[in-house]
Amino acid sequence: MLIDSRLEEYILSNTSKEDPLLAELRRETHLKVLNPRMLSGHPQGKLLEMISKMLSPNKILEIGTYTGYSGICLARGLKKGGHLHTIEVNDEITRFPKKYFEKAGLSGSTTIHCGDALKIIPALNETFDLVFIDADKKQYLDYFNLCIKKMPSGGILLADNVLWSGKVLKQADINDPETQSILEFNKAMVSDSRVETIILPIRDGISIVRIV
């Protein structure tokens, strides 16, 4: 936890409530799926929804679908006729996002691609106004390098877990490739003249990266 627990409670009680569908998905994920902590949850999901609604994107790319929580939040901001592409490598889990995208009335505006994002992104013939990176931490820079080729000037890329439970403050252990990669990603974002970036200290840290 990055901030005082009382402040966290205050923030929650002064943030719009989680709607019943997302609460149901969160509960089912906790009951039936391994590592439920991976789900964005509330209020991070609300932040994703708000950013998407502010941008009103035509095309969204999400890397790391898991059970579909963040995908629903992002897709709610799509421009009319817009589409969210989301990529998940674990085929045993995709029945959850399928079920909940349908329940959310988003079946027609979402596509779940099952496979490795590093192989699927190059094959997508689309331009993305909004990208959310939330898959293998060791591959963040690779995802970024693939995505930036498919984003216009002004496009927004969000990356989750960029504070990695505070481990970014420690010297990365040689046996800790995740921390090493998150450090490399953050350094690359702040040094790359093609983008401007800010880290929000929400949950595990979210970067907002804007293509200049």
Ligand X SMILES: C[S@@+](CC[C@H](N)C(=O)[O-])C[C@H]1O[C@@H](n2cnc3c(N)ncnc32)[C@H](O)[C@@H]1O
Write out the binding residues for ligand X, residues 49-68 only, by CB under 6 A.
Answer: 64, 66
List the x/- string, 12-41, binding to ligand X by CB under 6 A.
--------------------------xxx-
Residue 122 preceded by cis peptide, ω within 30: no
- Backbone φ and ψ for 158, nearest 5 degrees, come out as -105, 140
List the x/- string, 129-168, binding to ligand X by CB under 6 A.
-----xxx--x-----------------------------
Is position 90 an interface residue for ligand X (rule: CB under 6 A)? yes
CB burial of residue 41 (10 Å; 0-12, 13-18, 19+): middle
Half-sphere exposure of 130 toward its Cβ, with a 13 Å CA cutoff?
Answer: 27
> What gap in Å lies between CA 160 and CA 150, rounded to an integer?
20
Stretch that binds ligand X, among 76-84, 86-94, 147-155, 198-206 (CB under 6 A): 86-94
Q: Which residues contact 207 (CB under 8 A, 6 or more apart)?
A: 157, 158, 159, 162, 186, 189, 197, 198, 199, 200
CB of 197 to ligand X, least distance (A): 20
Is position 88 an interface residue for ligand X (rule: CB under 6 A)? yes
CB of 212 to ligand X, least distance (A): 26
Binding site for ligand X (CB under 6 A): 38-40, 64, 66, 69-70, 87-90, 93, 116-118, 134-136, 139
